[in-house]
A = this chain, B = another copy of it.
Amino acid sequence: MNIQEFAATLGLSVSTVSKALNGREDVSPATRQRVLKAAEQHSFSPDPTARRLRRQSSDTVAFVISSPQLSFAHPFFLDMLVGVNDAMDAGGYQVIIASARSVETELDVFKRLISKQRIDGLLFGRTRRHDERIAYLLEHDVPFVTFGRSQTSDDYPYVDIDRFVVGRAGCARFITLGHRRIALIHTPEYLMLSHFEHEGYKEALHAAGIAYDETLCVEAAMAEEDGARAARRLLELPDPPTAIVCGHDFIAMGAMRAIAETGRTPGLDVGVIGADNHPFGSYVQPALTTFSADTQHAGKRMAEMLLERLSGKSSRELQEVWLPQLIVRASDGPHRSGM
């Protein structure tokens, strides 16, 4: 049933029906009611494709899933997606997903999305210090919202969780517990969040008057195995750390395993703090102290922001940095030869 047939059953012209359906002027309240009611009864709704063609808008935004091989590192990613979808749905948009196999081909995915799919907006995360995706989108004037900031620009909308606080508060917690030799295993350098972790960590050391030792800072991908490897390097140092701040819970779990392998007890001989409150955290031994991250809510907020952006709001008004909360469990044990 198309609008023509539908109009015919009502004895009205298509234009009147369309106007009634779209809440335009020029239709008497009585007629409008009649049309709305009939549409309900015959379960008629205008063909979205035709409407999109005429309106010249795709009513579609894309959610880009990067590096799928690491997706399990982000267990709430799906919830984030659901949050995004619900908010978009409410706004009359549909969400399509796009996946980028690797960092190299990622920009191509974006280009293809823009040029061939005609989408109205984009959502993505894992922002990088120098992020060519952001540069590209800004240049081509495509609305988007990211999960995370970037040094490439500060003139776009984002939701971010403050990793500076993770680095600083994590390190400060260990200082309070009497540690002096505190290491940092941060996420990969090219990611923006890595930068913040590093800076926050330095800040805490500085505030406590502890000299920064760059041999205590190593990088690891957000995976258990990589975390373990990085921790092993730290523990083999002549003067190994008594505490390790980790940029992600998986890194922290790997670190705990590496610590146990050397005969030391995680959370007792060597303290560990993670980040992102991965559900695993409360199952491992000792339970992992970490920082909260409401990814689910972030997704919803990102979608809302994109909606606002699409209706003309400026980027600068759409930037939020959320404060993570320390979740104290058991892995950040006191320094043994404490003060």
Q: Which residues of A contact B (CB under 8 A)?
A: 43, 45, 47-50, 52-53, 58, 60, 65, 68, 71-72, 75-79, 81-82, 85-86, 89, 94-99, 115-118, 253, 279-280, 283-285
Contacts and interface: CB of A to CB of B under 8 A. Distances in A.
Contacts of A85: 65, 97-99
Contacts of A118: 47-49
A283 B68 contact: no
Give the copy number. Answer: 2
9 contacts: A47-B53, A50-B53, A65-B82, A65-B85, A68-B82, A71-B82, A72-B279, A82-B97, A94-B117
A65 B49 contact: no
Minimum-distance CB pairs A-B, first 6: A68-B82, A71-B78, A82-B99, A49-B53, A94-B96, A49-B52
Contact of A49 (B49, B81, B96, B279): B49
- Centre residue among A49, A50, A99, A116 by max chain B CB count within 10 A: A49
A96 B98 CA distance: 10
Contacts of A96: 60, 94-96
A253 B97 contact: no
A78 B280 CA distance: 17
Given A58-B49, A78-B65, A253 B283 contact: yes
A45 B94 contact: no
Contacts of A116: 45, 48
